[in-house]
Amino acid sequence: MELVYRKLDGEISPDAANIHSARYPLVVDLDKTLILTDTLHEQVVAAIFTKPAALAFAAPSVLRGRAALKASLASKVDLASTVLPLREDLVKWLREQAAAGREIHLCSAANQAVVENVSRRVGIFVSAIGSATANLKGRVKAEHLARTFPDGFVYVGDSRADLAVWKVAEGVVLAGASPGVAKAARGLGKPVEAEFSNHPLGLKDSLKALRVHHWSKNALIFVPLVLAHAWGDFAVVRDTILGLICLLIVTSSTYLLNDLADLSADREHWSKRNRALASGRLPIASGLLLACSGLMAAFIGSLFLSPYFTLALAAYLTLTLAYSFGLKRVPILDTLIIGILFTTRLIMGIALLRVPASAWLLTFSVFFFFSLAMAKRHTEIVRASSSGSHSLASRGYLIEDEPLTLALGVASAVASLLIMVLFIVEEMLPGPFYSHPQLLAGIPVFLAIWIGRIWLLAHRGRMNDDPVSFALRDRPSILLGILIAVLFVAAL
């Protein structure tokens, strides 16, 4: 974002018309102007994830008009404690104007209570005007401001509806306006005192919002196909690839829903505040629409693959949402759910193969991924202990839990290795697929080395990411993975 001035005689300076307009008070719009989001959308999302009953009761009020809906939501969903992303460069400029003695007023179509809350937070506004009986937008706002400021005012806005206000204003300030709106505003012949542009949502930010970097975990859906040696069956490979696409869409959609549910908390976090939704660069309405349409498309597509796959996908979605909206704060259960979620990916692959599930494989998966999830929690506890923190309230763990997480995690790792040995002996060795089955015995050995390394690093507090993501960047982990793959291929 940048503040744009006109250039005169080789110097950057406001033009004469701007100097003239600076005599007038500034009236600032709220939604997508002073803040980078829409307060009505904030209220709707807050109601969806925290007070769904309140949203159901407020919905009929839309029949009485948009102002009635806003008033009904404001009475049930309080945004006073919600952190809203400000347009920082605009706020800085407004503070400079206020320090120079200029009056600054806030006027928005948002509900009066919401406008007053934002006004108190910023602390520079002489007055705060919001919607009460009428929706204060467009022509209605223009008429109201013309009566309130008969000597003239300069309006700060962003939308096409603000053109009606700029027509009766003495000057224009553009804040987040689209090129079309900015062109129309300049065409009114009013002086443009300042302009603040949006930071566009780049491809990298979009991919982060969809958590593309976590897609690798979903490759587990191919494990049943590989173990069944079905890679030569075109129909099975095709269905598994299509199933993976459905799973990827569901996982990305759930990440979007999770970000919508955690908007306020993310905005208070030092790094999460820069996420696409939390920062306001991805509009709430767009994020919600993308998530819902993605889920719908994925489940419609899954019905053409297998009803059992659809059931597994529905179970994965239900468990993921339950984890995100509460169960992740229940100690021990949170890590067990992660283990089950990884196992559900294997179940999806088995459903697409249309073969009976292997009890050994699924049991190994639950214990193995439970251990990895516990390693991440153990790392967090070790780091909290070394930094002098007394609790991990957001996850429900205490520093005193360190011996427990260590014991449970290592025990689960050992149990998973034992189950893998039994899986190889009971199911893989007797099968007709391997010409050198004795080589399969090396797989648990290399896996034991890897999981031992994971727990060593976790106990030292050096596991910087979840173990699966860590393994994809860790050279020893990659080497061990290659050795395991070589043994498997050589055993064929």
Chain segment 413-424, per-residue pLDDT in tens: 999 999 999 999
> What's residue 10's pLDDT?
31
Mean pLDDT across the chain: 89
Q: Is the pLDDT of residue 119 over 70?
A: yes
Cα–Cα dist 282/275, whole Å: 9
Share of the chain above pLDDT 70, in %: 94
Q: What is the pTM of this model?
A: 0.86
- The answer, yes or no, to whether residue 18 has pLDDT greater than 60, is yes
H or E stretch at 384: helix 359-387
* Between 405 and 64, the higher pLDDT residue: 405
Q: How confident is the model at residue 48 (pLDDT cuts 50, 70, 90)?
A: confident
* pLDDT of res. 1: 31
Higher pLDDT, 486 or 387: 486
Domain residue extents for the chain: 7-196, 203-357, 359-492
- 277 or 461, higher pLDDT: 277
In the CATH scheme, what is the code of domain 203-357? 1.10.357.140
C-alpha 90/C-alpha 61 separation (Å) is: 34
Q: Is the pLDDT of residue 63 over 80?
A: no
Considering the domain delimited by 7-196, tell me its CATH architecture. 3-Layer(aba) Sandwich (3.40)
Between the CA of residue 168 and those of 81, 148, 322, 453, what are the distances in Å? 35, 12, 51, 70
How far is residue 414's CA from residue 2's CA, in Å, rounded to a whole number?
Answer: 57
CA–CA gap between residue 40 and residue 399 (Å, rounded): 41
Segment among 77-81, 156-160, 192-196, 357-361 with least mean pLDDT: 77-81
pLDDT category, 19, cuts 50, 70, 90?
low
Q: What b/e string do you get for 222-241 counting C-beta neighbours within 10 Å, with b at 16 or more?
A: bebbebbebeeeeebeebbe
